[in-house]
Amino acid sequence: MGDLLLRGIDDALKVELQESARRNGRSLSDEAIVQIRAALEREQRGAQTAGQRLRAVLGEAEFADGELRAIDAFRRQSDRLPPDFT
């Protein structure tokens, strides 16, 4: 495993990283690795279209005709409540 030295980190960023490491029970180095990895994963996901991300979640699964009709009928209801994402 290699080492990486980061120079020129401003004090505010260092304090943020230290606080995040403390909250998550990690060393400063481990927290930096987790944060860098998460940022790179977000960047890679951002390069995908919404359809590509959905296909990655669903795999090759497809809706049956009856399911599509039920979804369409539900969407056309005028008195339906907004979705609850809790």
- Listed by start position, the domains of the chain span 11-76
Residues in CB range of 71: below 8 A, 6 or more apart: 63
Rounded Cα distance between 3 and 75, Å, is 53
Rounded Cα distance between 51 and 69, Å, is 20
What pLDDT tens digit does each residue of the chain (86 aa) get? 889 899 999 999 999 999 999 999 999 999 999 999 999 988 887 777 888 888 888 888 888 999 999 989 988 888 877 888 98
pTM metric for this prediction: 0.53
Angle between helices 28-46 and 11-24 (to 10 degrees): 100
Residues in CB range of 31: below 8 A, 6 or more apart: 17, 18, 20, 21, 24
